[in-house]
Each structure stands twice: as C-alpha cells, then as structure tokens.
Amino acid sequence: MNLCIDQGNTRIKYALFENDLMHNHSIAITDISEVSISFKNLLKEYPIDKVIVCNVSGNPDFPYSLLFSSYKIVHLDHQTPIPLINNYLTPHTLGNDRMAAAIGGFSQFPNHDILVIDMGTAITFDIVSKEGEFDGGNISPGMSLRFKALNAYTGRLPLCEYQREHDFFGRSTQEAIVAGVLNSIKMEIEGYIDYFNKIYQNPVVILTGGDANKFEIQRKSNIFAIPDLVLYGLNNILEFNSKE
C-alpha cells in the first residue's frame, strides 16, 4: 500500500492507495499534535510499503523521515522525477501541490487538455496539455484571503465569512462584501472556463480544493469535481518513482 501525505497551510490530508485505488477515503488532520499518533496507528493497521510527502505549508516538515525510516519515502520537490514535462520557467518556485494536482488530473484524463482549478487558500488555475506537458497557470487570492484583506487593509470594513445564501447585490456593507467576494470568485472561475473552452478542443476542467463545493459553477460538459486530486497525483508520482 502507498501512503500519500499532503501538508497544506491549514491541515494535513492523507490517504492510502492500493493498486491505484484510494482505500476508503482521505482523512484530514488539523491538530498537529495528532499527527504522530495517527500515523503510528496507521502503520500498525495497514501493510504500507511506500510513502510520499508534499509540504507547501512553509513550516518545517513533521519528522516524516524519522517516523517512516524503514519505508521507501519520497519528499516531493522540483527535482523529483514526475510523469509530466514541466515547462514552468521557475520550477523551484512552483508549488508542489499545483504539480501534484496537475499530475492527478492527467492521470484521470490522459490525452486531454486539462484545466485544474484548485480552490484553497489561493485559487490556482493550471493547464496540462494532452501531450502531457505542464504549461503553467495563474494564482489568485482564495475566498478567506479576500475576506481578510478587505478587513485588514481598510479602516471600517468588517471581517465577513462565507454564506451559502446571498443575493447578487448586497443591501448592507456586510451583504455587499459577502456578495462581492463570492460572486467575483464564481464569475472569475466561469470566465477562465469559457476562455479555456475557446482555445482548446474538447478540454476537461477539474475543480478541486477545500472551497470547491461552496460554489455552484455552471455545469457545462466536461467539468468534473475531484476533491482529492492532489492525493491522486501524489500516488501517481510515487508509483512513477518506484519504476525509476
């Protein structure tokens, strides 16, 4: 079995894979004190063979190498062999989770041009060509960042948060902020999808990330929601490296 670990800005997600299939479901840990206990229990319960870690948190890695010292472990970085051609001009600055999501998307839809939209702390838009080349993408502030920025960089605007029910235009300052942030994100994403559909033939769009389920994106053909895309990509990278 493969253990794939995605250490993000606010939580650590992990999943077990067996024969390229996710075992049960992914699990998220938000309390760092629980990490060691969770993984030690996992090692006792399952026949894990290989481990891959993707850390984009900016914090030092949890001591994975020590905990998994008797296992084959890959720490994903820009020098790790991957099953895509990376055309990014500064590969050392590319978020490892962006690459993992791109690889996860291409593993699910090979021979298609793919737009991966990852909605987390930041919203990223990344393109993979049907030839298997990562052609870059864009980075935009995520939902929480937009709410926090309006509060932090103005004198009187309150800190707001996500609300599923909201009008298109607000009739109070709080309503205006909520509607402004949420509608702007939705229209931004739909604009990217429209543009992508114009320049590629029969492309695939994949939505992923913690905030993806909070937005009702116009469901056109070839739009798929895959919440654990990064973990699927990590498993694909781990298998690729085991064959190297």
| d(C-alpha 68, C-alpha 112), whole Å | 36
Pairing of strands 223-225, 204-208: parallel
Q: Is the separation of the CB atoms in 188 and 140 below 8 Å?
A: yes
**Edge-first strand listing for the sheet containing 2-7:** 21-29, 12-18, 2-7, 50-55, 72-75
49 given a catalytic annotation: no
E strand or H helix at 124: strand 122-128
Task: State the catalytic residue, choosing from 97, 113, 118, 228.
Answer: 97
Phi-psi region of 226 (alpha: psi -120 to 50; beta: other; left: phi over 0): beta
| d(C-alpha 101, C-alpha 176), whole Å | 33
Residues tagged active-site:
97
